[in-house]
Structure 1
Amino acid sequence: MTSSKSTTAARNPGVKTSLIAAGSRGSRLGPWPVVVLCLLIAAFSLLPLGFVAAATVNAGWDTIVKLVFRPRVGELLLNTASLVLITVPICVVIGVGGAWLVERTSLAGNKAWAVILAAPLAIPAFVNSYAWISADPTLGGIFGGVLISVLSYFPLVYIPVAAVLSRLDPALEQSAASLGLGPWKVFFRVVLPQLRLAAAGGALLVSLHLLAEYGAFAMIAFDTFTTAIYDQFRSTFNGAAANMLASVLVLFCLLLLLAESRSRGSARYARVGAGAQSNPGRLRLGLYQVPAQLALVAVSILALGVPLWHVGRWLIAGGSAVWERDDLLNALVQTLGYGLAGAVLTTVLAFPLAYLVIRHPGPISKPLEAVNYISSSMPGIVVALALVTITVHNVPAIYQTSLVLVGAYALLFMPRALVNLRAGLAQAPRELDEAAQALGKPPLIAFLRVTLRLAAPAAAGGAALVFLGVVNELTATLLLAPNGTRTLATQFWALSSEIDYMGAAPYALLMIVLSAPMTYLLFVQSKKAAGQ
């Protein structure tokens, strides 16, 4: 019967079209195996949130009041909130200002600056902290936390804003200019509102990184919720105090997600058609060329020059001996192994959901996608605490195994793969897949030969970004890694905590070297995504 339908469809395009349409109507929610798989992945993604909710309920109101409403929590809340409220606006100013200079002005060397301003993302925040402590051992407090955070995370705003600016339809700006508005008024009234989504998204990423960061703040002795949770865990293992702090931290994350969602508003940012084909005019800087160059040089020196200089200084001071450590090669191999395993698992888990969202958007796919984004916004310390508790009490056989650690990486970095896969699948027309099925190819074969091939570059890009996250991940690895595990991040942390800065330098350099090409890939992918 199937063969007859296929033959008829091949000879009669009208029949083929009706078959495809019928198939689309019959699979409104998506193929049931894919839906079931996505439900299972969503349930896995909800483990950290479920752990926090269960820990809060089980603690009881009296314990909650005792452990949450106390001066120590107020101090941590003040530190963390101050860090976010000061750091995020500075990152937005630097990110938007840098992107505008690179993409919309006559800045000399703008192509080089475009890459340089994204490059600090290749240096882990805790390596940045290590470098600044080397430069100024007295650095600490809110000033030290803001300094290191801004220099580490402003590219998270710069990259998406620069991508949007590079693809922004210049017709609106040209119309505003023709009405007599000067360049500055055009920027503030026309361009800046169109950057709101990109800037708000970048600000959210900066905020979530601030809430999740442990190593950078622990190194300068600046207490946040994450550092306090880790200290509590180390002293009391899975104690109620650590769980309650985790609950407050998760609530903080959810409030940030809600604030970012509200900031989007209801305005439309899409355009119909390709927009103007001409390139937007670049504002001539004139006398401002020198101040602009000096500002970018200053940011680059602080964000790139200081860490690279001090890593190089410690390498030179240590001589060849620092490269002869027995565990250096082992740490590199294990980092590559965990990075590849995390990248493959995360990409495989993200694929069914991306397929469902793009090919069968509807009442099931959108909530499932939202679940993964919310769960992945949880800090690494919360994810680690959840997996420790669940494995110890329910599946002790896998406690502190590589399986659990790689699973944590998948929970933390799912959006990196999901966003790329969504873009890749959107570029693979479903009509090609359906046409292959109408010509007699089984659905799985049609998917492998058509859709998977077209989406492969996006899948590789997503996997590379997950790899970048795994290489630089510290907190979850410290809590979940099996005994004997030595990654570049954990070995760097162990040596720098012992004030062995010379011994830690090779690990810092290798992390930067591994991260640099992935950071460039993120920059390129963002540019491509903005043009879709």
Structure 2
Amino acid sequence: MTTASATTGRRTPPLLLAAGAAVAVLALVPLAYVATYVVVIGPVELWQLLARPRIGELLRNTVTLAAACMAATAALGVALAVLVERTDLPARRLWHGLLVAPLAVPAFVNGYAWVSLDRSVHGFAGAFGVVTLSYYPLVYLPVVAMLRRLDPALEESAWSLGHSRARTLRTVVLPQLRPALLGGALLVGLHLLAEFGALSLLRFPTFTTAIYDQYGSTFNGAAATAMAGVLVVLCLFLLLAELRLRGDRRYARVGRGAARESVPLALGPWRWPLVATTGAVVLLAVGVPAFSLVRWLVIGTSTQFPLADLAQALVTTVLLALAGAVVTTLAAVPVVWLAVRHRGWASTLIERSSYVANALPGIVVGLALVVASLRLVPVVYQTATLLVAAYAILFLPRAVVTVRAGLEQAPVGLDDVAHSLGVGPLATARRVTLPLIAPSLGAGAALVFLAISTELTATLMLSPIGTSTLATEFWSASSELRYGAAAPYALLLVLVSIPATVLLMRTDSSTDRRGTP
């Protein structure tokens, strides 16, 4: 059961603190870049740049879209998770796989699919629909995982006290889902702040699209840097809001709980309408992109299959995504360990620092690393090492949120038992805690792999000369309206994403429904 918690009072291992601090320093490089140039601009010019009507319009668009999509993905993700895990919906395992499938379709490929079929899909309505369909699995997956860990005895106790199913869901189940729900919604919001490809295709201007326009015309312009500063402020607001809503509560428990599944709620006459609704979500999120890709492969006048270029882009994408996923997940471990096992102002600061760069466009992160590498370590400039570092900065929140959800569920008492038996901290982590959070580590790595395989702008800026990925080749063709030429790269992007999506499903399914991973 959930219990109030305070700081553990344990002595924080110096090496763990140093590792977490090193990750935080790396993650804050883009923020330092933006802050430095904001100071160089000066308060007078900064105010002149931000006091324009255009900035007000971009702020309204960005905040409105982020708020709407966070609310929509939270509602849709929780509703679908409860429907799959707590009702007698027919073929629940099949629906679960189909509802996770949108993770295999990048947001800008989804936008390309809708725009290339219907040019009227644009503006706020188009952006809201496409982004919601692309990002709701970021909420759905962690909520499903936590529902499977809940002890059904908690709900049955509430029923025995006369609580209805609806009241039990509201007062018992939903509070337990808070870490997953807030973490998923935070990821959606941060992604929205930095989203470029889909919003550019859908012609909905936000700070990110405006920053790209500014850098495209002036490269490192003052206006672009000022707008990046606004994105940092919006990111900090999201982080503080999520931190306040999360509270200081623990969700771990020792034991498996009741050795049985929760009794599913009978849908009765609502069964088939809800099946139809779930099918409509899958059709819009997966069916439309699949149809569009097949259509352009068949009828596109620019369609071609340069096998050598496709193979080279495929291999490069997979290798970079694998390297970035491993490095980012490993970097997330000390950050999460500090935040969950050694709570305090330092650990909170380190964890919050890991989120900041995720709200910045890839081009800002890329420019920050270009400047930092040329001044501090020029040997890594235009190498794969610098590119992987950019991936770690950009997508660290995906790993942190996912791994934290798993570590929150790993009982601290097991560590204490191991220590009482004379097992050291490192051995305890390796033999006790890491096996418990292994599914979360795998899920975090899979989410990062999916993000890296579709990353565009940082890859264009930082990759070694001659390097091409599926995302960069797709964008080159689609931005020139050569939809047929873009289709093979989009199809390969989807195919590359499928194994990671299946891993997410298997990792999630391996979580014991009776309370332990």
Same fold (TM over 0.5): yes
Offset, 1:55:
1.9
Alpha-carbon distance, 1:378 to partner: 4.2
Is 1:28 paired with 2:17?
no
- Residue 481 of structure 1 deviates from its aligned partner by 2.9
1:287 positional shift? 0.9
Aligned partners of 1:386 and 1:208: how far apart in 2?
Answer: 19
Match among 191, 197, 205 for residue 215 of structure 1 = 197
- Structure 1 gap segments, 5+ residues each: 1-24
1:231 aligns with 2:193: no
User: Is 2:119 aligned against 1:148?
Assistant: no
CA, structure 1 residues 57+306, in 2 after alignment: closer, same or farther (shift >3 Å)?
same
Q: Name the counterpart of 2:390.
A: 408
Q: Go from structure 1 to structure 2 and tell me whether the alpha carbon gap of 1:337 and 1:192 turns closer, same or farther (over 3 Å shift).
A: closer
The equivalent position to 1:95 in structure 2, one of 63, 73, 77, is: 77
* Contact 1:121 1:153 (C-alpha < 8 Å) held by counterparts: yes
| Deviation (angstroms), 1:200 | 2.2
Distance 1:113 1:253, change over 3 A: same
- Distance (Å, rounded) in 2 between the aligned partners of 1:461 and 1:68: 40
Contact 1:353–1:365, Cα closer than 8 Å, also in 2: yes
User: What are the equivalent positions in structure 2 for 1:119-518 lying under 5 Å apart?
Assistant: 119-265=101-247, 269=251, 274-318=256-300, 322-350=304-332, 353=335, 365-376=347-358, 378-391=360-373, 398-418=380-400, 423=406, 462-518=444-500
Partner of 1:238, secondary structure, is: coil
**Aligned partner of 2:365: which letter?**
V
Residue deviations 1:82-138 (CA, integer Å, cap 9, x gap):
212222222222111111111111111111111111111111000000100122023
Q: Is the 8 A contact 1:29 1:364 kept in 2?
A: no
Name the counterpart of 2:5.
none
Separation in structure 1 between the aligned mates of residue 180 and residue 435 of structure 2, nearest angstrom:
27
Counterpart Cα distance in 2 of 1:361 and 1:396: 37
- Deviation for aligned residue 1:347: 4.0
How much does 1:234 deviate?
A: 1.3
- Give the Cα–Cα distance (whole angstroms) in 1 for the partners of residues 259 and 436 of structure 2: 28
| Residues 1:55 and 2:37 aligned together | yes
Describe how 1:59-98 pairs up with structure 2 within 5 A: 59-98=41-80
Deviation at 1:476, TM superposition (A): 1.9
Task: Name the CA distance, whole Å, in 2 between partners of 1:363 and 1:243.
Answer: 30
Instruction: Measure, in 2, the Cα distance between the counterparts of 1:225 and 1:239.
Output: 14
Higher Cα radius of gyration: 1
Is contact 2:366–2:461 with CA below 8 Å preserved after alignment? yes
Q: Which segment drifts farther, 397-406 or 139-148?
A: 397-406
- Segment drifting more, 248-257 vs 367-376: 367-376
Q: TM-score, normalised by structure 1?
A: 0.84
Contact 1:208 1:379 in 2 (8 A): no
Q: Give the Cα separation in 2 of the matches to 1:323 and 1:393.
A: 42
Query: Relative to 1, partners in 2 of residues 1:75 and 1:195: Cα closer, same or farther, differing over 3 Å?
Result: same
**8 Å contact from structure 1 (residues 29, 362) kept in 2:** no
Letter in 2 for 1:296: T
Give the residue type in structure 1 aligned to 2:114: W
Q: 1:371 to 1:498 in 2, by over 3 A?
A: same
Displacement of 1:407 in angstroms is 1.1
Q: In terms of mean alpha carbon deviation, does 314-323 or 147-156 score higher?
A: 314-323
Letter in 1 for 2:368: A
Change (3 A) 1:433 1:455: farther
CA contact (8 A) 1:464 1:518 kept: yes
Q: Percent identity at matched positions?
A: 48
Range that drifts further, 478-487 or 495-504: 478-487
Contact 2:193-2:359 at 8 Å conserved across structures: no
Check 1:248–1:467 CA distance in 2 against 1; reply closer, same or farther (3 A cut). Answer: same
Distance 1:322 1:59 in 2: 47
Q: Whole-Å Cα distance in 2 between the matches of residues 67 and 232 of structure 1?
A: 12
Question: CA offsets, 1:243-297, max 9 Å, x none?
Answer: 0010001111111111112222456655565433342221111111110011011
Q: Cα offset for 1:400? A: 3.8
Q: Distance in 2 between matches of 1:453 and 1:197?
A: 20
> What RMSD in Å do the two structures reach over aligned CA positions?
3.4
Name the SS of the counterpart of 2:263 in structure 1. Answer: coil
CA distance in 2 between partners of 1:300 and 1:468 (Å) = 19
| Per-residue deviation, residues 344-392 of structure 1 (Å, max 9, x unmatched) | 4334544555666678777755543343244445443432232233345
Q: Distance in 2 between matches of 1:321 and 1:67?
A: 44
| C-alpha displacement of 1:48 | 1.4
Question: Would the aligned equivalents of 1:164 and 1:195 in 2 still touch at CA under 8 Å?
Answer: yes
3-state SS of 1:486 partner: coil
* Alignment match, 1:11: none
Gaps of 5+ in 2: 1-8
Aligned residue pair count: 501
Q: In structure 2, the residue corresponding to 1:67 is in which secondary structure?
A: helix
Does the Cα contact within 8 Å between 1:214 and 1:475 map onto a contact in 2? no
Partner in structure 2 of residue 8 of structure 1: none
Q: Counterpart of 1:117 in 2: which secondary structure? A: helix
**Mean Cα deviation higher: 165-174 or 139-148:** 165-174
Decide whether the 8 Å contact of 1:238 with 1:389 is kept in 2: no
- Cα distance between partner residues in 1 of 2:139 and 2:92: 18
In the superposition, the TM-score normalised over structure 2's length comes to 0.86
**In 2 relative to 1, CA 142–272 (structure 1 residues): closer, same or farther, beyond 3 Å?**
same
Change (3 A) 1:305 1:240: same
Show CA shifts across 1:470-507 (max 9, x none): 10112322333333221000100010111111111111
CA distance in 2 between partners of 1:73 and 1:266 (Å): 36
Distance in 1 of aligned mates of 2:268 and 2:393? 49
C-alpha distance in 2 between matches for 1:296 and 1:448 = 41
- CA distance, structure 1, for counterparts of residue 332 and residue 27 of structure 2: 11
- Matching residue's letter, 1:144: G
Matched, 1:40 2:25: no
CA offset at residue 324 of structure 1? 2.9
* Aligned equivalent of 2:3: none
